[in-house]
Structure 1
């Protein structure tokens, strides 16, 4: 029986997950887990890439010690960040993290030279200051001149282990450099940031065999005979593959450090309305499109926990929140001030003072503020999503997958606010999506639909039905956001 390993690395942690398919059920076993974070180094917030390589090798060694002599492996990570490689194949320093402040105000600067609406019409990708196009716009030109190739993080890791350079399409679409119509690099956009197409490795589809692990390069480790498959290497793309649904009447929230709320479709929506609402059309596996909204997500509560010295676990924070009166504050969770503040608790409290609201003080009040406003944001964005996609995509159910699906309190709160049935799980949807795409590639499943049926059978969901909810809260929240964002555009407007 073939063995498959998902190397799934997020912004806060990584893991190696092992799976097999016995024609009845998918198994899932955690082999190795490790922390991940950026650090301030050489002038920027950077990812410690050699640490990630070492942890992957430790995990693969554990696979071998578990008695697995050979396996298939796929790698997924977060999007947009990259490594620069010189003409000798060496990395030019650790990659800068997307939360680094070097791209503060970059969209405004770029818009002085290039139309943002044209950028969206070409790519269908939402405007985010950390998109690769904007990172390259502010990149050190001397460093770029030394670079022979640019590889996104999962493609770079694949290169380290196999010596093969590729650019996987689902992740590449997030760079905001690919033309949605031609499915290739947009020469006009490359010229706008003074980058040539030969900086990038060849584009490949998700589900492409990459190559064998270079055992000689890592001879100090006892490793299995490993074949790497280029999966849907953007973690959100893998998470949506791992969502156990069918038909067209469902939506999803991939809930982790970020919350990605949207639908799976076949045709991009590059309308003026989608541009105004900053929705994105990221490419998925098997010629699908992830039409979605990027929401700040569980990063908020992760940072709250960190600045309480991890005194409370996430379940404990949820319990404290549930015991606290709700909807005492309105917060724009997507305000850029929450992207990478020095202290998330202080930032939330300052926001409330500036907007003349009750300031949350206790751990329960702070957690409740975060969870209430995430649920309100989800509900609001679901309304926008249905308006943007029309009656053909009236949603009957919402799947919440990823680590956030384990938060029963937030799931029920979302069901209540959105007045939508929630199916929560699996929590490891990203790893599962990574694994089943490998299985599709080698022929164990004939299609994505068949693989999703196996996921649904193997990993049952928890269902949350909507309860009564005061719609005035949602109406007042939306009015608050409208006023707050207008104030940001025009400081003279109150």
Structure 2
């Protein structure tokens, strides 16, 4: 049976077909398209109409399937007016409008989220809402344009800072206290979105159904972690890296808040207890500044060099787009370190700094949750980076199982397959991934690089 997974990332979108049998799942890429932000009058926007067109092109190329599912990054949204029309292009979370946010306004004991200045609630407080009737997170917005149906999918709603992680509904008392209009928050629904609109079917050349999946891409990726038991940590590694463990209930202690851990909803009532780490964004921006050199050759060279400098990937200076090599040099100067010399050392500095951040996050997640960790599963695009995987094994002191690369698309398709009765619970879905995906294990060894 064939399913279509629409996976929108911060730098590109993918439309994948997934052929599912009782014993295997096979992915194939139907269409890939860039996701380029656009700056207009000083504000950084997502080009949402270009993304929607990329989705339509991909669905057309993929051809008929049992259903389609949509996942994307979190926190960003579109606003609709009373007629259901989009009010302007959604603003990018890297826009500077929340750069001055230094304190949380959502109570940790309610939302369970780590502090991030660009969380949805912080963006909304800088938004004009007088003409807004409905807020839709990015995958819900694309789903609305495809089906005409409005709703809030749970895993993405849990990233907004307006979701009560214990009651599993909007935190209405917080919404009222902040003076936000209740009307803009649609009902949180676990139901399928429904069939595509007639005009969409005409454009695609076929009709299909949009199935509600875990619309936060990390939630979909965690579904496809090929774990054989509960004692694992995951690193969903792309533009961002989300590092954590899977739990049955949130951890809302003061120690957890101070450690800046987040409790986001997963599939089947699970909690993704994790910390956001900046991820490959810093490397991506360096490559852009360097005019996109051969990455494989650069990684090979970086694997041979040694560099003492270590950066904090989550330092605010690395959040906005810009000249990242210069910012690394400035960070080293500010912290009394010798900056990397040349591109290979800069790449090594970035990757070993990420690995150390991953190690700290895995240790903290295990300690704060009480969940022992015996293996680390590194999924997503970063699993292709052998040097990063090796450094992560050394930093954590644990075996690192790298892959699958397209974990979000796999998890997306597996939830669709379950809706058709082809697969059962999370354990069964992960067993199917283990039997189908290409993975590689990196064993820890002695570390000979800085702390």
Normalized against structure 2, the TM-score is what?
0.97
CA offset digits 1:187-244 (Å, max 9, x no partner): 2221233212221111012xx321111132564x343221101110000000000111
Q: Which residue of 2 aligns with 1:152?
A: 137
Q: How far apart, CA to CA, are the structure 2 residues paired with 1:96 and 1:193?
A: 21
Q: Which residue of 2 aligns with 1:242?
A: 224
CA offset digits 1:279-329 (Å, max 9, x no partner): 00000010000000100001111111111111232x233212112114x10
Q: Which residue of 2 aligns with 1:30?
A: 29
CA offset digits 1:326-358 (Å, max 9, x no partner): 4x1021111111001421111111111122211
Offset of 1:246 from its aligned partner? Answer: 3.0
How many positions carry a matched residue from both structures? Answer: 451
Q: Which residue of 1 aligns with 2:38?
A: 39
Q: Which residue of 1 aligns with 2:373?
A: 395
Alpha-carbon spacing, 1:51–1:432, altered in 2? closer, same or farther (3 Å): same
Matching of residues 62-81 of structure 1 within 5 Å: 62-64=61-63, 69-81=64-76
Offset of 1:42 from its aligned partner? Answer: 4.2
Offset of 1:419 from its aligned partner? Answer: 0.7
Q: Which residue of 2 aligns with 1:334?
A: 314
CA contact (8 A) 1:426 1:460 kept: yes
Q: How far apart, CA to CA, are the structure 2 residues paired with 1:319 and 1:204?
A: 47
Q: How far apart, CA to CA, are the structure 1 residues paired with 2:196 and 2:321?
A: 40
Matching of residues 161-176 of structure 1 within 5 Å: 161-176=146-161
Q: Which residue of 2 aligns with 1:373?
A: 353
- Which residue, out of 83, 88, 92, partners 1:88? 83
CA contact (8 A) 2:15 2:62 kept: no
CA contact (8 A) 1:162 1:214 kept: yes
CA offset digits 1:371-411 (Å, max 9, x no partner): 11011111122222222122xx2211000000001111110
Q: Which residue of 2 aligns with 1:485?
A: none
- Which residue, out of 382, 385, 393, partners 1:407? 385
Q: How far apart, CA to CA, are the structure 2 residues paired with 1:384 and 1:448?
A: 25
If each structure's helix is expressed as a fraction of its own residues, which one has the higher value?
Answer: 1
Residues 1:122 and 2:100 are matched in the alignment: no
Q: Which residue of 2 aligns with 1:19?
A: 18
SS in 2 for 1:225: coil
Q: How far apart, CA to CA, are the structure 1 residues paired with 2:215 and 2:194?
A: 15
CA contact (8 A) 1:60 1:223 kept: no
Alpha-carbon spacing, 1:229–1:42, altered in 2? closer, same or farther (3 Å): farther
Q: How far apart, CA to CA, are the structure 2 residues paired with 1:297 and 1:30?
A: 24
* Larger of the two Rg values belongs to structure: 1
Task: Single out whichever of 47-56 and 192-201 deviates more from structure 2.
Answer: 192-201
- Which residue, out of 93, 97, 104, partners 1:98? 93
Q: Which residue of 2 aligns with 1:214?
A: 197
CA offset digits 1:120-178 (Å, max 9, x no partner): 111111110111010111112xxx11011000000000000100001000000000111
- Which residue, out of 178, 182, 186, partners 1:193? 178
CA offset digits 1:406-435 (Å, max 9, x no partner): 111110111012111111100000100000
Residues 1:459 and 2:426 are matched in the alignment: no
CA contact (8 A) 2:201 2:207 kept: no
Task: Single out whichever of 7-16 and 371-380 deviates more from structure 2.
Answer: 371-380
Q: How far apart, CA to CA, are the structure 1 residues paired with 2:226 and 2:100?
A: 39
Q: RMSD over aligned Cα, in angstroms?
A: 1.4
Residues 1:276 and 2:254 are matched in the alignment: no
CA contact (8 A) 1:297 1:374 kept: yes
Residues 1:137 and 2:119 are matched in the alignment: no
Q: Which residue of 2 aligns with 1:51?
A: 50
Alpha-carbon spacing, 1:33–1:402, altered in 2? closer, same or farther (3 Å): same
